[in-house]
Structure 1
Amino acid sequence: MSVTRKQYDWSETRPSMAVPEYISAITGREQTDFAPLYDAIDPEALDALVQSDSPVSVSFEHAGHSITVRSDGEVVVQTVTASIGR
């Protein structure tokens, strides 16, 4: 399993925009290669939850990755690497 992390400033980047951008960056694929984020989570709800004044962590699956978005600006993406014979 591969885990990557990136820190964002939610006053400059909406969480619903950061997730697809980050997945695209770490996979080297275009955002249009993946299903829209709204297939996994309501983008407006994600933005509202994460940009609230309370400490919040939202986790969901998208584009073959396990994603956690935190109110402190951190996005954590876990990629599971398939192993043959295990």
Structure 2
Amino acid sequence: MGASDRESPSGDETIRSRHDWAATSPSQAIVEAVATVEETTPVALVRETETTLYEYVDPEALDSLVGSDRSGSVAVAFDIDSLHVTVSSGGQLVIDLGEH
């Protein structure tokens, strides 16, 4: 995973990481981050929960939209169960572990 930190404002935990989308796709970074949050591996996450990122967002469209070299800033936010995920074209990935 890219550089990351955890913060806990108001009791909810937030994980932030910065990535180079040329080196790691946004969808792969999300899968790895969610697996880290769940204290497992990406492969075990799918095996244990039988859930894939595709059930929440189209990974190819996400990678194309957020990971592309374009002028301007793009951010996409969505929920994966109780996790709120925000990913931006600037390389930021934020996972809020609070209730939404």
TM-score class, shorter-chain normalisation, is 0.7 to 0.9
Helix, strand or coil: the match of 1:77? strand
CA distance in 2, matches of 1:12, 1:46: 15
Q: Identity of aligned pairs, percent?
A: 33
Helix, strand or coil: the match of 2:35? helix
Amino acid at match of 2:23: E
Higher relative contact order (CA 8 A, sep 6+): 1
Report the equivalent of 1:84. Answer: none
Structure 1 runs (4+) deviating above 6 angstroms are none
CA distance in 2, matches of 1:46, 1:63: 18
Alignment gaps of 5+ in structure 1: 82-86
Report the equivalent of 1:80. Answer: 98
Amino acid at match of 2:14: V
Amino acid at match of 2:79: E
Structure 2 residue corresponding to 1:40, chosen from 56, 59, 76: 56
Asked whether 1:61 is paired with 2:79, we answer yes
Helix, strand or coil: the match of 1:46? helix
Task: Report the RMSD for the aligned CA atoms in angstroms.
Answer: 1.4
